[in-house]
Structure 1
């Protein structure tokens, strides 16, 4: 259950980072509101997951999910480059998250 909650928290991290990009430095109201709401919920879910997951594992997985999602969204929606080096680097982050999950024994 903690891993599922952590995954949702990570997806909300993607949501708030995208909303922040769209907020234009918090100068646009609704993207700014979405940023704050998604961030608050993401932190709350991370806090819940930390009840049963080790801090280092949960935090690394949370930020990794956010980084992977933000990368994918940037490439798919914002037209950011997907060079071999960038994709390979993101693949290493994914391997790290999988390794942390396997090592946690949950």
Structure 2
């Protein structure tokens, strides 16, 4: 269960990071509310997962999932350019996250 919660928390990290960009300095209400809710959910999930998963592993997996999803979303929406090299580097992060799960 801790691993599932950690994955969902990583997803919420990508949500709050994307929402933060859209708040325009917290001047827009809806993105600011999405940011706050996703941030609290993400942190709470990370804290819950760390009851069973060691700190270093949990944090690395959480950040990796959030980073890959945030960059992928930005590339899909055109907010950030896509390239083969970026996709290979993101695949490397995914591979490292999977590796951390396998050795846990």
Deviations 1:28-64 (A, max 9, x none): 1111111011001100010000000010000000000
Partner of 2:94: 94
Q: Aligned runs of 1:58-77 on 2, under 5 Å? A: 58-77=58-77
Does 2:11 align with 1:11? yes
**What RMSD, in angstroms, separates the aligned Cα atoms of the two structures?**
0.9
Q: Aligned runs of 1:38-53 on 2, under 5 Å? A: 38-53=38-53
Equivalences, count: 104
Report the TM-score, using the length of structure 1 for normalisation: 0.93
How far apart are 1:8 and its partner, in Å? 0.5
How far apart are 1:78 and its partner, in Å? 3.5
Report the TM-score, using the length of structure 2 for normalisation: 0.95
Structure 1 unaligned spans of 5+: none
